[in-house]
Amino acid sequence: MPGVRKRAERGELAFGTVDSWLIYKLSGGKRHVTDATNASRTMLFDIHRQIWDPDLLALLDVPSSLLPEVLDSAADFATTDAAVLGAVIPIQGVAGDQHAAMFGQRCFEPGMLKSTYGTGCFVMLNTGDKPIVSNSRLLTTVGYRLDGQVSYALEGSIFVAGAAVQWLRDGLRLIANAAETEEIAAAAGESRGVTMIPAFTGLGAPYWDPNARGALLGLTRDTGIGEIVVATLEAVCFQTRDLLVAMADDGVVPTRLRVDGGMVNNDWFAQRLADLSQVEVARPVVTETTATGAALLAGLRAGIYGSLAEISAGWLHDRSFTPGLDPAIAKARHVDWVDAVQRVR
């Protein structure tokens, strides 16, 4: 747009992630700030030095004056303008989506990991104060930053999880609602050789293949709605195992997975996830952990919580699912999955 770059260079414009825009609006235009987790996702932030990277800014031709100040995830970001919400309210907790979910799941110790099952699926592993550079095409990111101290994380991103169930409902109209899948899958029991690869928008980690497309393989005249539903839910389990295998290749062997998101309310899916991934799956009472994490960060800054240990004690366990499938069978089924994935790449 004509004249915009000159205005940016004069410091008249601001640019950032959605949190920085919300804070700017809520504060009546007084504050242009973000937190370290959101900054780490911009491709402009040095996650090791915790600064906007001058080399990247120069490479991508981004004026530094545009960017927000980067604060801890629990900090005094701003106070709301009374004219906006009718009261002056402190904003004290800010984090990216998956980072907030990890905090909400109380994954505060190195080696703890969580997996969120919404439209997509995101597995995040706390690696403590040491960033692990993955050899398995996973992401190294900031997990959270408190009092200037960074807890890093290793993350694997799956593009399609719950979205595959939505496709069964809205695209194929095989089901009326997502909750039906639990009863249908329990009645069917097995996929009977059917494999669903939900590469509707390509494949995420560890493949990173934008050109892959989805497929249903192994169909016979006996294939029905039950087998397709089972294969769809199992596809999410296999993609999760892909990420756990990648993390193991990077030197961290997971044994327990804290799960959240809408899909994990399905007991059949949670049990099959444990069976095929060969790790214990632990489900909390509150599965909306992204919102919980943001609230906990604010509570920590406000003094409602005195420490991470106090917050950790508040994680309420609902149910655990332990692997019931023979490890050799689970591994063989994953090998078949990987072979099927190669067919659509």
Co-location of 166 and 191 in the same domain: yes
pTM for the full model? 0.93
Statement: residue 42 has pLDDT above 90: yes
Q: Which residue has the tokens 């090998």?
A: 335
Co-location of 55 and 116 in the same domain: no
294-345 pLDDT, tens digit per residue, is 999 999 999 999 999 999 999 999 999 999 999 999 999 999 999 999 999 9
Instruction: Mark which of 93, 119, 140 sits at the end of a domain.
Output: 93
d(CA 37, CA 95): 6
Co-location of 36 and 9 in the same domain: yes
**Preceding omega of 110 cis (within 30 degrees of 0):** no
Query: Are residues 140 and 47 in contact, defined by beta-carbon separation less than 8 angstroms?
Result: yes
Instruction: Mark which of 78, 93, 108 sits at the end of a domain.
Output: 93
Co-location of 329 and 197 in the same domain: yes
Report the candidate in 15, 10, 12, 56 with the shortest Cα–Cα distance to residue 38: 15
Write out the residue range of the structural domain in which residue 30 sits. Answer: 4-93
Domain CATH number, residue 14: 3.30.420.40
d(CA 40, CA 155): 13
Query: Are residues 321 and 240 in contact, defined by beta-carbon separation less than 8 angstroms?
Result: no
151-164 pLDDT, tens digit per residue, is 999 999 999 999 99
174-226 pLDDT, tens digit per residue, is 999 999 999 999 999 899 999 999 999 999 999 999 999 999 999 999 999 99
Average the pLDDT over 106-129 and give the result: 95
Write the CB contacts of 52 (distance below 8 Å, at least 6 apart in sequence): 39, 44, 45, 46, 64, 67, 70
